[in-house]
Amino acid sequence: MNEVQKDRVSTRRLLLRPFLKSDRAAVLDLFSDARTMLYWSSEPITSLEEVDDRIQQEIDWHSKEKCFNWAIALPDSNQFIGKICLFQFNEQNRRAEIGYVLNRKHWGKGYMSEAMEFLLAFAFGELDLHRIEADTDPENLPSLALLEKFGFQREGLFRDRWFVHDKWHDSVMLGLLQEAWNQRQEKPAVRKGA
């Protein structure tokens, strides 16, 4: 894994930073919401103790470089609204997995696309990864659309991969290769009406 950890990154409208203990109320708001957690691989959080444990886990992952893990925040208020990360690194094969979640009060604003654009550029550029993988529930159409917007290709269906919310869930497996990302970056933007 790359020695340089990106602690604070500003995008056009977002601040990507480490998790803070002061994110407690906002983390509870996101991870306790049943609709947001519908396609997450664990149950919604139900207590402040669970929130504290999750924040500590996120801080530990970040500091030990087990993953590249950012809280997504609004820059003016530093308000936590979501997370995005690279994890499950396989150094020999230059591969990692991507994960993300956003408070649904901020859905539809393009925030996750903005965070994803940074993360993919970082992963394929600075980290020189060859492949990024993602898995999502086949019913999670917004997540599939986001991944496919960035060039991820569906590569298979894993049946009954997750047991959560008292039932089995399938996973669509997707992958994005560095070469495809680089080709996408080299294409000139097409102007509407041209």
What one-letter code names the amino acid at 63?
S
* Residue 94 near residue 131 (C-beta atoms within 8 A): yes
Distance in angstroms (rounded) separating the CA atoms of residues 89 and 75: 29
Indicate whether 34 belongs to any domain.
Answer: yes
Residues 6+ apart with CB under 8 A from 190: none
**What's the confidence (pLDDT) of residue 193?**
52
**What's the confidence (pLDDT) of residue 188?**
62
Distance in angstroms (rounded) separating the CA atoms of residues 34 and 85: 21
Indicate whether 194 belongs to any domain.
Answer: no
* Domain that residue 19 falls in: 9-186
Distance in angstroms (rounded) separating the CA atoms of residues 189 and 31: 37
The CATH number linked to 83 is: 3.40.630.30
**Model pLDDT for residues 139-177, shown as the tens digit of each residue:** 999 999 999 999 999 999 999 888 887 889 889 999 999
**What's the confidence (pLDDT) of residue 190?**
53
- Number of domains forming the structure of the chain: 1
Mean pLDDT, range 50-55, rounded to an integer? 90
Indicate whether 31 belongs to any domain.
Answer: yes
- The pLDDT-based confidence of 3 (bands split at 50, 70, 90) is very low
More confident residue, 185 or 152: 152
Task: Using the predicted structure, report yes or no on whether residue 55 has a pLDDT greater than 60.
Answer: yes
Indicate whether 3 belongs to any domain.
Answer: no
Indicate whether 59 belongs to any domain.
Answer: yes
**Model pLDDT for residues 86-105, shown as the tens digit of each residue:** 999 999 999 999 999 999 99
* CA distance readout (Å), 49 to 25, 28, 42, 46, 52: 12, 10, 16, 9, 5
Q: What is the pTM of this model?
A: 0.87
